[in-house]
């Protein structure tokens, strides 16, 4: 039996409240939230538990109270209970409600990065801590009043224990001194547009990128992790609709490539990303013709191109024309890209009559632009400086030998292998390594949860006897 401390704010929420919006409850306002007889009929449990997380203060407690299998057969709310819930026994109900907590505010980076398996079992799901499930009338034998109340209630109830509780405490945000991994975790707890796989894959890439900067101090790494975590939340608000058509690893790749250069205050970057993904109508001056010139590229390569171009749409760093296109990118569509493709086709791929319409020709062209033109033009502030950089590039790339151009194409094709080596993952690419680590983490969490349920059940049996 849990009694809240004195002078705390406690709110009890019904299914009706939680699924029709909790804005009236404010943000981080309550010390405890009690969800009473709602787990049985929630239509969107993940969203509901995220709302509970939002209105709770740090270290606040959430308690989900629901009926046992036997008691639910006679409840007045029987008509509201879902068929799936009706088929669950008590242990399964405890496990399912525990999963509502775990998957509503979990960020796996720190857990996945932790080699201490005991800590993995104790952490459970990052955003929630001290997750546990038990009978409402269970007791540890230390409270005489509680024991007497439990014994009397059970003896007067045909169905035995009528209620179960699953509870957890909202984790306090990581302090700065906790380090970069904990900081990234904290930022991703409330990333409502990110699924667990999104968090896992994107966090893995960000952490690998951070660790590749060997001259950075822990403070530098922590600031970078916080910045990227905030950026990932913003980026995935745009990417979320694309999860239906683009594979999760590819979206994570794009998001983690954009995050270090993402400006949270730039609406132009958000709109440019939407245009590049086809979520809104593309501008005729840039995105539409660019799509035509790179039509043969794979989805993967188009996303890499987006990652190279989107940072230039930060209006706080780069000058734009009246249509909102960065001046640094203006020569690409009418001049640089067509000239590069027209030259590479017969020079590097003479065996193909229509070489400029092949994947390799378009891929090599965008690789040269991303590798050599964009770094040269990044400091340009006037159209004259941009045109000078464009002229230098157009005059330079024909001086490369066929072997050098072929090597550039091979390097572009092998970027996955190079990334794996830099990540010190040898024969395992970052996505596979992250998936393997996360599978182990989830297995440990499920095992720990089942062990806890079994322990509580055995304790209850011993108390009853």
Residue whose C-alpha is closest to residue 218's, from 177, 188, 259: 177
The set of residues, in sequence order, having a beta carbon less than 8 Å from that of 3 and lying 6+ positions away, is: none
**Higher per-residue pLDDT: 323 or 456:** 323
201-222 confidence digits (pLDDT tens): 898 889 888 888 889 999 999 9
pLDDT of 257 > 60? The answer is: yes
Contact 45, 105 (CB under 8 A): no
Tokens representing 241?
A: 């609709």
Query: What count of other Cβ atoms lies within 10 Å of the Cβ of residue 68?
Result: 19
pLDDT at position 92: 87
Residue 315 to residue 265: CA distance in whole angstroms? 9
DSSP characters over 267-299: HHHHHHHHHHHTSSPPPTTTHHHHHHHTTTS-H
What is the helix, strand, coil percentage profile of the chain, to 5? 60, 10, 30
Cα atoms in the 13 Å half-sphere on the side-chain side of 198: 24
- Bridge partners of 134, per DSSP, are 165
pLDDT at position 258: 97
- Among the ranges given (50-64, 71-85, 94-108, 213-227), the one the predictor scored with the smallest mean pLDDT: 71-85
pLDDT at position 426: 32
Q: Could you tell me the pLDDT band of residue 319, with boundaries at 50, 70 and 90?
A: very high
Residue 174 to residue 177: CA distance in whole angstroms? 8
DSSP characters over 48-89: HHHHHHHHEEEEEEEEEEEE-HHHHTS-TTGGGS-HHHHH--
pLDDT at position 283: 85
- Among the ranges given (307-311, 349-353, 400-404), the one the predictor scored with the smallest mean pLDDT: 349-353
pLDDT of 404 > 80? The answer is: yes
Residue 320 to residue 302: CA distance in whole angstroms? 23
Contact 464, 155 (CB under 8 A): no
Pairing between β-strand 163-170 and β-strand 128-135 as defined by DSSP bridges: antiparallel
Residue 142 to residue 135: CA distance in whole angstroms? 16
**Higher per-residue pLDDT: 424 or 76:** 76
- Bridge partners of 33, per DSSP, are 11, 62
356-383 confidence digits (pLDDT tens): 788 899 999 999 999 999 999 999 999 9
Q: Could you tell me the pLDDT band of residue 72, with boundaries at 50, 70 and 90?
A: low
The set of residues, in sequence order, having a beta carbon less than 8 Å from that of 351 and lying 6+ positions away, is: none
Helix (H) or strand (E) holding 31: strand 30-36
DSSP characters over 378-433: TT--SHHHHHHHHHHHHHHGGGS-HHHHHHHHHHHHTHHHHHHHHTT-TTS-HHHH
Which stretch, 231-240, 245-254, 429-438, has highest mean pLDDT? 231-240
The DSSP letter of residue 42 is -
Q: Could you tell me the pLDDT band of residue 332, with boundaries at 50, 70 and 90?
A: very high
The set of residues, in sequence order, having a beta carbon less than 8 Å from that of 392 and lying 6+ positions away, is: 376
Q: Could you tell me the pLDDT band of residue 120, with boundaries at 50, 70 and 90?
A: very low
183-206 confidence digits (pLDDT tens): 888 888 778 888 878 888 898 889
Q: Can you tell me whether residue 132 is helix, strand or coil?
A: strand
Residue 257 to residue 184: CA distance in whole angstroms? 16
- Bridge partners of 56, per DSSP, are 30
Residue 68 to residue 166: CA distance in whole angstroms? 12
Residue 365 to residue 359: CA distance in whole angstroms? 10
Pairing between β-strand 10-13 and β-strand 30-36 as defined by DSSP bridges: parallel
pLDDT at position 112: 37
* CA geometry: angle 135, 141, 142, nearest 5 deg: 120
Mean pLDDT (the chain, rounded):
79
pTM above 0.75? Answer: no
């Amino acid at each position: 039996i849990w009694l809240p401390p004195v002078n705390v704010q406690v709110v009890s929420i019904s299914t009706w409240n939680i699924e029709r919006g909790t804005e009236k409850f404010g943000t981080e306002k309550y010390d405890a939230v009690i969800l009473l007889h709602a787990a049985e009929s929630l239509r969107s449990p993940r969203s509901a538990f995220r709302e509970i997380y939002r209105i709770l203060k740090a270290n606040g407690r959430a308690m989900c109270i629901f009926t046992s299998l036997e008691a639910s057969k006679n409840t007045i709310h029987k008509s509201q209970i879902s068929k799936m819930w009706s088929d669950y026994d008590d242990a399964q109900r405890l496990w399912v409600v525990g999963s509502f907590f775990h998957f509503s505010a979990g960020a796996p980076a720190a857990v996945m990065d932790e080699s201490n398996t005991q800590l993995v079992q104790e952490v459970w799901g990052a955003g929630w801590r001290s997750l546990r499930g038990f009978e409402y009338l269970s007791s540890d034998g230390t409270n005489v009043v509680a024991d007497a109340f439990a014994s009397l209630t059970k003896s007067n109830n045909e169905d035995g224990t009528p209620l179960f509780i699953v509870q957890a405490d909202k984790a306090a945000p990581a302090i700065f001194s906790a380090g970069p991994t904990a900081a990234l975790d904290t930022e991703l707890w409330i990333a409502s547009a990110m699924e667990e796989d999104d968090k896992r894959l994107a966090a893995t890439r960000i952490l690998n990128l951070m660790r590749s900067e060997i001259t950075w101090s822990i403070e530098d790494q922590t600031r970078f992790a916080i910045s990227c975590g905030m950026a990932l939340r913003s980026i995935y608000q745009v990417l979320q609709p694309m999860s239906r058509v683009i594979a999760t690893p590819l979206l994570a790749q794009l998001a983690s490539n954009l995050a270090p250069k993402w400006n949270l205050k730039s609406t132009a970057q958000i709109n440019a990303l939407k245009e590049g993904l086809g979520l809104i109508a593309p501008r005729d001056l840039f995105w539409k013709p660019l799509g035509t010139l790179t039509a043969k590229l794979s989805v993967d390569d188009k996303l890499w191109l987006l990652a190279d171009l989107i940072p230039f749409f930060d209006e706080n760093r780069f000058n734009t024309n009246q249509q909102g296109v960065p001046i640094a990118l203006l020569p690409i569509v009418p001049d640089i890209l067509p000239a590069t493709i027209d030259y590479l086709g017969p020079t590097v791929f003479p065996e193909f009559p229509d070489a400029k319409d092949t994947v390799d020709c378009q891929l090599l062209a965008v690789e040269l632009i991303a590798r050599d033109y964009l770094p040269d033009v990044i400091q340009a502030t006037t159209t004259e400086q941009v045109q000078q950089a464009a002229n230098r590039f157009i005059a330079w790339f024909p001086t490369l030998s066929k072997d050098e151009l072929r090597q550039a194409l091979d390097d572009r094709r092998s970027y996955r292998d190079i990334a794996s080596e830099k990540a010190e993952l040898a024969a395992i690419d970052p996505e596979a390594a992250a998936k393997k680590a996360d599978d182990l983490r989830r297995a440990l969490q499920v095992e720990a949860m089942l062990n806890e349920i079994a322990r509580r059940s055995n304790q209850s049996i011993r108390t009853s006897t």
